[in-house]
């Protein structure tokens, strides 16, 4: 069946449909990762977005149920050059097409994805619609221009109720802005007793959970929408070690008076080199963000830039000058992507343990 991608600037890409037979609307973004389509598709940070894979072949190792990053993917569509005919991997449990059908996600293949990426690269991120009917293009374009697909995304994907991810060692409260399960896996590996709370949890509610540390998760959309969370962070950072990842990083910045901005087409992929400014070391990181922290705005705050992207200088990490709090724009939890920065979880754990120790002796 034919299916089209219509962009808000009127560009149309015609290809073949796969996955669910529904029309959807979302922000069109691309990822340059060559593996990990399953993790990306199930990453809640992609909620209300249509994801284009630059790797020309997707679905080649199928889908397995261990590598999901969320139970209910909120992505609005998957676009690839070519869907594999025969997935092959020992853990393969379902084909990508069937998985998308099950989760009501439409797919589009057989378009020149490189052309689309080049288009997005010069036009910047665009709103788009996956549809099988392009008879009234002006109407579609008008609808796209009138919609903000990512607005309210965090509220939609964040957990509605508090739930535990039990362990023994440290009490960590994780604020869910659209959490990737890999973050919980990393905490579990380090034997944390985790309580996951909704995005709008107040500082007081968190205090009542007696945490040893707080982790601010990744999530979709514009950080400026999270007014209550920004307030919460400004309060809790005074008392507890804080670790922000991706959205959590941007909120940490905002809570301390820095500013964020929307990037032209964002960073999505695994090959972004990041330099740790203290050690000078570089590592490759897993990234998925359309907003970033304005470096100039950091100067006026109690924060220091601790990491930058090697090529474009984007702020990739912040550290509080006074409190045991830091944040990362990229995903040290990887999944998908390189594990090079996984030790930054240990950095957080050390902050937590040091603080515990200090309290113990205090």
In the complex, which residues of this chain contact another protein (CB under 8 A)?
30, 32-36, 38-39, 54-57, 60-61, 64, 66-67, 81-82, 84-91, 111-115, 117-118, 121, 269-271, 273, 275, 280-282, 284, 310-311, 334-340
In the complex, what is the shortest distance from the CB of residue 183 to another protein, in angstroms, rounded to a whole number? 16
In the complex, what is the shortest distance from the CB of residue 206 to another protein, in angstroms, rounded to a whole number? 33
- State how beta strands 213-216 and 315-320 pair: unpaired
Token digits of residue 166: 């039990």
- From the DSSP assignment, how many helices (H) and strands (E) are in the chain? 11, 19
CA 329 to chain centroid, in Å, comes to 9
Residue 55 vs residues 89, 160, 266: alpha-carbon distances, Å? 18, 35, 17
Output 53 or 252, the one with its CB closest to another protein: 53
In the complex, what is the shortest distance from the CB of residue 207 to another protein, in angstroms, rounded to a whole number? 37
In the complex, what is the shortest distance from the CB of residue 111 to another protein, in angstroms, rounded to a whole number? 7
Output 181 or 256, the one with its CB closest to another protein: 181
Residue 34 vs residues 43, 44, 56, 91, 246: alpha-carbon distances, Å? 16, 19, 9, 18, 21
In the complex, what is the shortest distance from the CB of residue 313 to another protein, in angstroms, rounded to a whole number? 11
The catalytic site residues sit at 246, 331, 333
Q: Which residue has the tokens 């969370």?
A: 229
Q: Which residue has the tokens 């579609």?
A: 140
**258 DSSP assignment:** -
The residues pairing with 273 across neighbouring beta strands, listed in sequence order, are: 284
Output 250 or 285, the one with its CB closest to another protein: 285
Backbone angles phi and psi of 71, in degrees to 5: -80, -40
The 3-state DSSP class for residue 106 equals strand
Output 201 or 287, the one with its CB closest to another protein: 287
* 213, 221 contact by CB (below 8 A): no
Output 111 or 126, the one with its CB closest to another protein: 111
Q: Give Dmax (Cα) for the chain.
A: 72
């Amino acid at each position: 069946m034919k299916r089209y991608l219509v962009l808000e600037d009127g560009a149309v890409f015609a290809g073949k449909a796969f996955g669910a037979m529904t029309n959807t609307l979302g922000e069109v973004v691309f990822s340059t990762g060559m593996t990990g389509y399953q993790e990306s598709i199930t990453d809640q940070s992609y909620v209300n977005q249509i994801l284009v894979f630059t790797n020309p072949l997707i679905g080649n190792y199928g889908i397995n149920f261990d590598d999901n990053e969320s139970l209910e993917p909120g992505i609005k569509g998957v676009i690839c050059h070519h869907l594999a005919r025969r997935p092959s991997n020992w853990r393969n449990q379902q084909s990508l097409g069937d998985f998308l059908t099950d989760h009501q996600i439409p797919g589009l293949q057989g378009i020149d994805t490189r052309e689309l990426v080049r288009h997005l690269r010069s036009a910047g991120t665009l709103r788009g619609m996956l549809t099988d009917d392009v008879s009234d293009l002006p109407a579609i374009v008008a609808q796209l221009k009138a919609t903000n697909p990512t607005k309210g995304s965090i509220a939609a994907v964040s957990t509605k109720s508090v739930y535990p991810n039990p362990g023994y060692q440290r009490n960590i409260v994780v604020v869910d802005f659209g959490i990737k399960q890999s973050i919980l896996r990393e905490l579990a590996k380090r034997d944390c007793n985790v309580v996951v709370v909704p995005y709008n949890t107040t500082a007081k509610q968190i205090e009542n959970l007696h945490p040893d540390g707080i982790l601010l998760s990744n999530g979709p959309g514009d950080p400026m929408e999270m007014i209550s969370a920004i307030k919460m962070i400004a309060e809790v950072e005074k008392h507890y070690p804080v670790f922000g990842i991706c959205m959590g990083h941007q909120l940490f910045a905002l809570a301390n008076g820095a500013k964020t901005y929307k990037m032209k087409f964002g960073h999505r992929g695994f090959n972004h080199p990041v330099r740790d400014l203290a050690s000078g070391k570089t590592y490759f990181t897993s990234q998925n963000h359309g907003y970033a922290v304005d470096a100039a705005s950091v100067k006026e705050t109690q924060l220091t830039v601790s990491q930058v992207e090697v090529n474009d200088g984007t702020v990739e990490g912040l550290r509080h000058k006074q409190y045991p709090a830091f944040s990362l724009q990229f995903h040290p939890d990887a999944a998908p992507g390189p594990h090079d920065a996984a030790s930054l979880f240990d950095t957080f754990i050390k902050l937590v343990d040091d603080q515990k120790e200090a309290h113990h002796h205090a």
